[in-house]
Structures are given as C-alpha cells and as structure tokens.
Structure 1
C-alpha cells in the first residue's frame, strides 16, 4: 500500500538537501571527485534534482528518507577525514563556516523572527539530526532575545568514529556551520556545549 507524503517528509527532504549541498561544496573546494565516486558506491547516491514525489519510494517513505540521512552522514565523515589528511582540521572548520554563511545569505530574506521560539522554528527546519521520529532536538528555553535547545543524545559521532576520527568533530563542525549561518542572517551569537547528559545549543540575539 502506497504511503502519503506529508509536510514533515518535505521538510526532512529539505534538511537532507542542505547537507548534500555541503557535500558538493566540499568536493568542489578540495577537488575530491574521486573520493565522491567511492563514497557514492559504498554509501549510496545523493537525492536527485527531481521533485520529491517523483523520486521517493512511496511504499517505504520512512526507509527511503532514513537511507539518505545515513548515506549523507557517512559520506560527510569520509570527506572530513580526507580533508584533514590532505590539509588540516582548521581548513575544514573554516570551510563549514563559509558554507553556513552562504546558506544564511541565501535564506536571510525568508527568515523573520521576533523571539527565540520563532527562530527555533527556522533552525529546526534547517538542521538534520536523524529522523523526525528520533526526537533529537528539544526546546529548553526561549524568550525575546535568547534560545536554548538540547540534542538529547549524540547520533552523529559514531560515523566519524567508524573512520578513526574523533566523534566530537561533528559538533566542532556544526558549531562552525551555525556560526557562519547565523552571522549571515543577523547579529546572532551561537554556542554549543557537550554535556554528559546532552548537547546544549544556545543562541543570543
């Protein structure tokens, strides 16, 4: 029985596309086309340019989306490892910041908020943290100029660790991306802290 595509599926597809474009950005910047061919062979292809309804598996919508989430995580970890090997970690961090800035520049005309709750809505539609049913992100605090949300568990680090990288590298790169993104849409400060129980994301504007 064919499943119906819901708004949350389009949102998840958009999150995946933002991360897949990060892959493309890194591949082009660091001339990693050969590694990209290996990655797609081992971890699967990126989504296509077609409309979601024309490419998704209507008999297994969740499985199709989840496979692309996992494939993207693995390809990005492999790209990160190669960039650190051939360049250095700081260069990779700066590349994430620049990509975040570019995404922010492309979206800032669509982002309008007057409090933390409204800003969180935009960020929640942007960040790929597993599948929606994983419920990774939980809003903790919000007011007119402040926002805090938690990642209730780490679902990213293992993809880096599988390749011999430090698991917390993902969060270093996430912080760099977010700093670049938020600087492009306004005078907004972001911090990320890894705590024993969860990861704390804080935004002040």
Structure 2
C-alpha cells in the first residue's frame, strides 16, 4: 500500500469500480438490442465524460498529489456516464418497456453481491446491514456525510439523505433522477434479501425525503 493511500481510499475506489461494473452490464445488455444505439452512446459518453477507470490497481493510476480531487473526479465521471446512458435508453422509442430490463440488471447485481456476503457477518441488528450496503453504493465522498439516521433499534434502521448528490449529474444529461433512485432501490432490496432472510428493505416518502428502512421481518 502506498504511504499516501489509506484503507478509505481503496474502499471508495472499490465502490467506484462496482458502479462502473453496473455501467458495463447496461452497455453489454444494450448492445444486444437492435433498436438501441448503444455503441454510439458508449462512445459519446466516453468522449464527454472520460473512460471508466477499469479494474486496475489504485496506486498505479491515482494522482497521489491530489488524492481527494482524483477520487471525486472519478465519481463525477462515473455518475455522468451512467446517467447519460440510462437516459438514452429510457428516452428511446421503447424506453418505457426497457425500464424493467434495467431494473432486472440492478436486481441481478444486487442479488449477486448480497449472496457473496451471506454468512460473512453476524447481522444481529439492521444497522449492520446498512454498513455492508455502504461498501457498495456511491453517495459522494465520505466527507459529504449526506446520510442521516432517522431510527436505529434492534429491529429497525432507517435513514435519509439530507441532500441529493445525484440530481446535478442527471440534470446535466437532461435526465430524470427519479430513474436513478428507482433502479438503486431495486438493487438495495435484492441485496438485502440475498444477504439475509431475516431482514427486508423498503422506501417511502416522508416530509419530502426518501426514507430508507431496513427492518427485521
């Protein structure tokens, strides 16, 4: 490990890699649809926002003179590429029909990730599940601290974001950020169900906030 890099930097880089893997799954799926210009959209996304980092060693690619800025830049680019590609799919003539396909991609990856960690943690309380989820989902930089806990008991853990970090990216590509949340909810629900049969996940609107809840069944 580089003397300039800590565990938190590798942890965040892994989250970026996970997000990019979702992007690639969407692209691979879209290339199989004759009515989608996925090759063109992929090329355009890279031209506009830069190429994915890919599966490389962090210490081989990061700018150690600007660690925070480099990681933030990779988050920005990954979010923009994915928002751009998803928006292109949804805005296509068959976009409404393809929403279910996109949800299934997210669900499939959520199930795979949750199953990978099944039995790895004690999971005695629902907040422990949230901590595992947080090893995957991108919610800005750790210093952003956008998630605020609403309830934390032995049976219920709920939280909401004090601000939406994703709207800026979706607005930039003329997309609707509600599509992002709909897809991420599918991933999270599938992840929780695959991780433990004892818990479930739901989202509801509360005073204008998306209240996320993991609860014991």
Residue aligning to 1:190: 201
1:130, distance to aligned residue in structure 2 (A): 0.8
Q: CA separation of 1:198/1:7 partners in 2, compared to 1, >3 Å: closer, same or farther?
A: farther
Contact persistence 2:129–2:192 (CA under 8 A): no
Mapped pair 1:49 → 2:22: no
TM-score, normalised via structure 1 length: 0.89
| Deviation of 1:25 (Å) | 0.8
Residue in 2 that maps onto 1:117 = 127
Note the 1:4-23 alignment, pairs <5 A: 4-23=4-23
State the Cα distance separating 1:83 from its structure 2 match: 2.0
Q: 1:144: Cα distance to partner? A: 2.2
- TM-score in terms of structure 2 length: 0.85
Which runs of 5 or more residues in structure 2 are unaligned?
32-37
Aligned residues: 204
Q: Give the structure with higher Rg (CA).
A: 2
Say whether 1:203 aligns with 2:211: no
Give how far 1:92 is off.
2.0
Matching residue of 2:35: none
Distance in 2 between residues matched to 1:25 and 1:114, nearest whole Å: 33
- Checking the alignment, whether the CA contact within 8 Å between 1:104 and 1:181 is kept in structure 2 is yes
Q: 3-state DSSP class of the match of 2:191?
A: helix
- 2:20–2:54 CA contact under 8 A, matched in 1: no
Corresponding residue for residue 88 of structure 2:
82
- Pairs within 5 Å for 1:60-71: 60-71=66-77
Deviations 1:46-81 (A, max 9, x none): 123222112111011011100110111111111211
CA contact (8 A) 2:201 2:213 kept: yes
CA 48–93 in structure 1, closer or farther in 2 if over 3 Å, else same: closer
Question: 2: CA distance between counterparts of 1:199 and 1:136?
Answer: 13
